[in-house]
Amino acid sequence: MARVLYAHHSYPSHLKLVCLKGDWQICFQANGTLDGRRIRAWLRNVDGNFVCEVGRENQIEDMPEFERLNFFGDKFHLSIDETDEAGKRTSTLAGANNIHAARAAFDALVPQYASRRLILREGARILLVAKGGKIEG
């Protein structure tokens, strides 16, 4: 039987997701020595091995918090909303955590809501807009 670790706790604030050349690692910062010089480096949380020097990473993200709703209170990472002409959300029609599932749902909803304006969004970022039964490009 699978069990969920840290189901009701957020991650420690000192841990970050660090991306170096497409490889994501859970890391923390520490001082160390590399090639005889003092550096500040990202170390893997699992084994404390050196990942990269601070400043040489491609991207740094805070660790996600479990069971935390995003800015708009969505349960899913991606959302399909009905909006008025000004872009204000009037209702949420569907959601998904996978872009392919969200796009398939969006494509299926566009003809059903042809007289309305629909958006597919990721948080506050609008990915697609459909009006009059057609996806705008």
User: Mean pLDDT of successive 10-residue segments in the chain (137 residues)?
Assistant: 42 78 86 86 84 87 65 81 88 91 94 94 89 88
Is pTM, for the whole model, over 0.75?
Answer: no
| pLDDT given for residue 67 in this prediction | 56
Tokens of 49: 């091995």
User: How far is 136 from 29, CA to CA, in rounded Å?
Assistant: 44
CB neighbours of residue 128 within 10 Å = 17
User: How far is 53 from 40, CA to CA, in rounded Å?
Assistant: 6
User: How far is 63 from 6, CA to CA, in rounded Å?
Assistant: 13
Tokens of 47: 């084994």
